[in-house]
Structure 1
């Protein structure tokens, strides 16, 4: 059973309810020292871990293939080692995205106060995107990282840019004054009162969602004709694109899952160093509503697997990412030609 009297458990159960919260805590490995933190003041590390547990729980609610895998792990008495979550954002050449700060800035204002530092930049030029890894300063190996990417609208043509403005210009900011004040407290003090943290957790978690109105299907198709990633953001927003289980041998796991008929990608992604290996389930299909109450089946989020070896230069686990790996994994949400060519109802 997960310890349920510490700060992380109190935050998670406050957000999800007792039954779901304890279930979420028993799904993800949490560092014992973080789990044991008690008192009426929450450290930034404990709040970050609680937020990640809630976000992982939400990802499983949207990804049946990931849920089935995790249920199998739990049935054997195991837990997932949550390695990282991935987000996609939009950046225009100038200015914000509606009421949201531009691109990754909408999330660095959350991550930096909670103790995350940028670890590396990964140019995703083929996708006309930039990825950045954010790693927790206090406990980098045990608190999940974020792979935060932004799509550069100005690298596309004028027609694409116009459609992107139509879709994203009305984005709302989910962070209220209390949430922003809490983040400011974490930034200056590294901790905050539990009551304030619990009261604002929901608003902060809500940032990891779609913030813009329902897109027109015609605009979705236009974005899709140039960028699968832009089209994905149009329907899914800033939700977790994927969450990742860190496993000992991802190649062996992929072979087993494939033999079981699971929707695993064909190719294993291997970093230039050879120390980071990744694969993933293909994105689950989801039904999404477009403007005018039009329903279409589109790619949703997915579940990923990663193995990390020890970096001989440091003697520690290699927490890096890889541009080639990331580009290959992003293809898991590629939409079918049938969606791109389907007629408007």
Structure 2
């Protein structure tokens, strides 16, 4: 890794030198991004450092993904981090506790850091809406975000009441340092390196659960209507999955299935045929509930994607697909996916 580069400096400030080296060595990052140095941090460097830290956190929670990455590194490869995915809750009106409603909790971070809304994906079967955010400065090499909202008003009143009981106590992790950094990035597209370091912990904290553990009764009610809502109840706004961009996802899926890995049975192929996706099933973990009980629930997972060039533009097709997304969401369901 570029030891004195801005990205390395920011990642080390948050993870420590040893973990930062491991995290950066695992990822294939554009040399131009790694080479940035100086007393300021560009929005692109900060966004990439943020994504490196979030990828590191995902692997700490997803043993199947961590084992895959370890095998990839042992064979001399690296991971090309394509995108991370987040889930949010949107009530018919008002905030989510102290958080801005739905995707607004993250667009206030993404937009100042140089991300733009690339497209919208209705996920009607899940009663959700997905949106893709792509980095303006380096769209192909800085990971995208697939940010989804679950619409509470598309469920019954009992569901809505349980959702309020769970999510109304949400706190807002963004402190004054984070707010100042984002305001500076929005205005100048860069910020002094000490300001960026000071803001990083609160911004990373936004990618976590902001509410208290739910009551088991409320969790079960949400689960009876929506696997996705139940997942947010225990995991909050943590990375739902991180995605490795690979040359041939079909061949990789066949190889991983032959190794008895917990793969999604079916490959998801976009309507254009240019975007193909599969994933490991979510790793299970133990979560506490407000009643003092513990339950094994689906956690996060690791995904794989192949992207072809768009013949109309000659550039990499960075789009997503509603059908693909709906199929991938099933990785955190309590039942076997297709």
TM-score normalised over the length of structure 2 = 0.99
Matched residue, 2:101:
102
Q: Distance in 1 between matches of 2:184 and 2:292?
A: 42
Query: Deviations 1:277-317 (Å, cap 9, x if unpaired)?
Result: 00000000010000022110000000000000010000011
Q: Distance in 1 between matches of 2:96 and 2:12?
A: 33
Q: Distance in 2 between matches of 1:336 and 1:277?
A: 23
1:336 CA drift (Å): 4.5
Aligned length: 336
Query: Deviations 1:82-119 (Å, cap 9, x if unpaired)?
Result: 00000000000000000000000000000000000000
Q: Distance in 1 between matches of 2:59 and 2:199?
A: 22
Matched residue, 2:90:
91
Matched residue, 1:129:
128
Q: Distance in 2 between matches of 1:71 and 1:293?
A: 36
Matched residue, 1:317:
316
Q: Distance in 2 between matches of 1:64 and 1:328?
A: 22
Structure 2: 5+ residue stretches without partners: none
Q: Distance in 2 between matches of 1:242 and 1:166?
A: 26
Q: Distance in 2 between matches of 1:261 and 1:254?
A: 11
Matched residue, 1:158:
157
Matched residue, 1:145:
144
Contact 2:269/2:275 (<8 A) preserved:
yes
Q: Distance in 2 between matches of 1:151 and 1:117?
A: 21
Superposed counterparts of 1:279-290, under 5 Å: 279-290=278-289
Q: Distance in 2 between matches of 1:72 and 1:185?
A: 40
TM-score normalised over the length of structure 1 = 0.97
Matched residue, 1:17:
16
Q: Are 2:54 and 1:58 equivalent residues in the alignment?
A: no
Q: Distance in 1 between matches of 2:17 and 2:135?
A: 27
Q: Distance in 2 between matches of 1:127 and 1:260?
A: 32
Contact 2:28/2:80 (<8 A) preserved:
yes
SS of corresponding position for 1:317: coil
Q: Distance in 1 between matches of 2:334 and 2:298?
A: 6
Matched residue, 2:304:
305
Q: Are 2:59 and 1:49 equivalent residues in the alignment?
A: no
Contact 2:7/2:34 (<8 A) preserved:
yes
Q: Distance in 1 between matches of 2:64 and 2:200?
A: 27
Query: Deviations 1:36-73 (Å, cap 9, x if unpaired)?
Result: 00001000000000000000000000000000000001
Structure 1: 5+ residue stretches without partners: 338-345
Contact 2:10/2:49 (<8 A) preserved:
yes
Matched residue, 2:36:
37
SS of corresponding position for 2:69: helix
Contact 2:216/2:291 (<8 A) preserved:
no
Matched residue, 1:341:
none
Q: CA RMSD in A?
A: 0.7
Q: Distance in 2 between matches of 1:64 and 1:217?
A: 26
Query: Deviations 1:240-276 (Å, cap 9, x if unpaired)?
Result: 0000000000000000000001001000000000000
Q: Distance in 2 between matches of 1:77 and 1:4?
A: 20
Q: Distance in 2 between matches of 1:26 and 1:165?
A: 42
Matched residue, 1:343:
none
